[in-house]
Amino acid sequence: MQRTYINEIKKDKEVLLQGWIHDIRELPKAKFLLLRDITGIVQCVLKPENKAFNEKLSLESVIQVKGKIKEAKLTSPELSTNNLEVHISDLEVLNKAEVLPMQVYEKDKSIISDLSTRLDYRSLDLRKKKTQAIFKIQSEISTSFKEFFKKNNFIEIQTPSLISSASEGGTQLFSVNYFEKKAYLAQSPQLYKQLCAISLEKVFTITPVWRAEKHNTIRHLNESRQMDIEVAFKDDFEVMKYLEECVAFIVKNVINNCDKELDVLNLKLKIPKSKYLSYDEAIKLCKLKHGDDFSPEDERKLCEMYPDTIIFTHSWPLSLKPFYILPKDKKLSKGFDALYQGIEISSGGQRVHLPEVLIKQLKECKLNPKDFEFYVNSFRFGSPIHSGWSIGLERFTMALLKLNNIREACLFPRDRERLTP
């Protein structure tokens, strides 16, 4: 008999189900097991005449049951269906679970595991409805990102994770021994996606990045995933439009395809509007002075002024942007940031495409142009203007789902304290 998933069961059918014991209720004349698989939860009835009735069963044990689907009148909010149950004819324990270090089914609300414990036992935590909902939605986010740019005739690229010099300047890099040389884990696909765009024109990637910053905050990770694009013959405002349309497309798909997961998280999403502010306009709203960067509190304030809106702040000071952002004039750049749901979700801009300007800006950032020779030389052979941006996948998931900590949006977070599991 082939396995049936719980969301496929139909009245009067004989089925073989496999999954985990979600809950057990024992009465003298019957045992009621809640069986869970990735598609849902169903009640299974085990009668005393069954040889498995006296078997010691434990929560989260993996079992296989055969039985007939019958009508029922149930009221549990945990169940995927309250009008069907399985009457067990055969039960086999495939793998018995030991005493659990944390609750999966949080029946006792007085014993809720903290985030650190949940991350220590992440494979167990991934069995919780809320955790599964987060990562099902995150899967929809990354799939929709790819779908949007495929529809717009972009080419997916893969950039290296091992690099010879800093992608964005600075020294906060993880170094690795690369045979007789020193190499670094890429902090961004920035340089390489530009090299692709000046020939392939329209490119995107989803890639891991690493930053050796010694922070320990609720919004930063030392390893994360970035969703990046780079486009030739487009300026900063044209790629902001791509970002605006892409985020709206992602949110629309999450609303349409993840309604059950949004219900689990008790969320109602709206397709975001957009607001464009110059840097100078934004700092006035936050009562800052020219040259200041926005603090997390400033970002929250701006988003409160424009709820359910992607806020683009453009025309930033050159001093606050990396060396590869094109100057607008002597003081301002063609760089931008995007805020959404109280947090920065993206940074981007039009890039420098002229070697002499690039060398000048590298020196002004106290970087050695010789370390970037391969990059600079690529623009000597006919480089078009080009622009792009990146969105942190975990950061965007955190913002969209209003999570309290970015680690909730990362399967196996890496920070200063955590290297396992």
- The answer regarding whether domain 129-409 maps to CATH 3.40.50.880 reads no
Task: Give the CA distances from residue 179 to residues 161, 182, 187, 229, 372, in Å, rounded to whole numbers and listed in that order.
Answer: 16, 8, 21, 32, 21
Q: Cβ contacts of residue 116 below 8 Å, gap of 6+?
A: none
Within 268-370, residue ranges assigned H as helices are 279-285, 296-305, 355-364
Please give the helix or strand (H or E) that residue 132 lies within, else none: helix 129-151
The correct answer on CATH 3.40.50.2300 for the domain covering 6-95 is no
Q: What is the pLDDT of residue 170?
A: 58
- pLDDT at site 269: 98
pLDDT, tens digit, for every residue of 8-19?
999 999 999 999
Angle between helix 236-257 and helix 129-151 axes, rounded to 10 deg: 130
Q: How far is CA 185 from its chain centroid?
A: 20
Q: Residue 117 has what pLDDT?
A: 96
For the full predicted model, state whether its pTM sits above 0.75: yes
The candidate with the shortest Cα–Cα distance to 83, out of 29, 9, 18, 21, is 9
Query: Any idea which residues carry the catalytic annotation?
Result: 211, 213, 219-220, 344, 347, 395
Instruction: Tell which residue, 347, 373, 349, 378, has the closest CA to residue 362.
Output: 373
Distance CA 410, CA 393 (A): 9
Q: How far is CA 418 from the centre of its chain?
A: 18
Contacts of 307 (CB under 8 A, 6+ apart): none
Closest CA to 169 of 321, 291, 390: 321
Model pLDDT for residues 174-195, shown as the tens digit of each residue: 999 999 999 999 999 999 999 9
Mean pLDDT value across the chain = 95
Name the segment(s) of the chain with CATH classification 2.40.50.140. Answer: 6-95
Phi and psi, residue 85, nearest 5°: -145, 165
Average pLDDT over residues 114-124: 97
In this prediction, what percent of the chain has a pLDDT beyond 70? 99
Q: Which of 216, 235, 14, 260 is nearest to 116 (CA)?
A: 216
Residue carrying the six token digits 């196996």: 412
**What is residue 167's predicted lDDT score, i.e. its pLDDT?**
64
Q: Where exactly does CATH 3.30.930.10 map onto the chain? A: 129-409
Total Cβ atoms within 10 A of residue 3: 12
CB 94 within 8 A of CB 58: no
State pLDDT tens for residues 281-318: 999 999 999 999 999 999 999 999 999 999 999 999 99
Crossing angle (nearest 10°) for helices 393-401 and 129-151: 120
Question: φ, ψ for residue 347 (rounded to 5)?
Answer: -140, 145
84 contacts: CB under 8 Å, gap ≥ 6: 9, 10, 11, 42, 69, 70, 71, 72
